[in-house]
Structure formats: C-alpha cells, structure tokens
Amino acid sequence: MLTFKNIDLINGLPGFENLHAFILAELESYAPFCAFQSVDEPDISMLVIDANLLAVWKDINIPPRELQILNLEKSTDSEQYVILKVSQGTQEFTANIKAPIVFNPESGAANQVILDNANLSVEHPLNDELS
C-alpha cells in the first residue's frame, strides 16, 4: 500500500522558498526511496530517503534549536530525510547529509536543517551506505 504524508515545509527549500506544501510518498516498487513532491507545483519533485537507513547517520544529532522550531523535544521524536541526487556521469546516487529535512510526524511541520559539521557532505556517496 502506498502511503502519503502531508508536509508543511516552514521555510521552503533553497531555490524553492515559496513552496511550502509537500507530499512525501513511499515508492513501493523502489523501496526505500520516497518522492518528495510539491503540492502547488507538481513538477517539482525530488527523490529522498529516510536518513536513519544510512550507516553514517547514527552519529548525527539535530541541534535542539532546530527541534524547538518544529515543537519537538528530541531527535527521536522526528523523522529525517535526505535529498538524493544522481550523478550524470557515473549514474550513482549521492545524499545531501549536510542538510536533512526534519519532519514532525505529529504536526506535519518540517524544515530543512543545515548541520554545522564540516565532515558532512551535500554529495555523500550511497555506494555501500544503506544499512
């Protein structure tokens, strides 16, 4: 069964600041990938994955100030997704682990959070990363 989540992206995304209403849809045939699609501009859609599926994610903490914006007490109360990109040359996936989308499943509010950690990349290779 295909599941959807309505998401209210508080500040939009870089380049799409005016878009706030999104749908997160699990892609059954392509699990664990999900579509993150704008409600107002359906042509704006990106591939995302639950950040907790990435081995590198186990040591990542969302700053308390970011959780407060979403009315969350701790990271485990949230869901986090990372935007994926496919390299034109190599056809390999990379994940933006520097700026996850943090989602409050109770309220539907979400925000893209820029993590202040020089070790995190906007193009983290997924090659053997999925745990």
Give residue 9's pLDDT: 94
pLDDT tens digit sequence for 71-86? 999 988 999 999 999 8
Per-residue pLDDT of the chain (131 residues; tens, 9 = 90+): 457 889 999 999 888 999 999 999 999 888 899 999 999 999 999 999 999 999 888 878 899 999 999 999 998 899 999 999 987 777 788 999 999 999 999 999 999 999 998 888 999 988 766 65
- The conformation of residue 77, written as its DSSP 8-state character, comes to G
Give residue 86's pLDDT: 86
Give the whole-angstrom CA distance, residue 76 versus residue 131: 18
Nearest to 112 by CA among 54, 70, 73, 75: 70
pTM, two decimal places: 0.90
Nearest to 122 by CA among 131, 112, 130: 112
> DSSP letter string over 9-30?
ETT-BTTBTT--EEEEEE-GGG
Give the whole-angstrom CA distance, residue 5 versus residue 87: 28
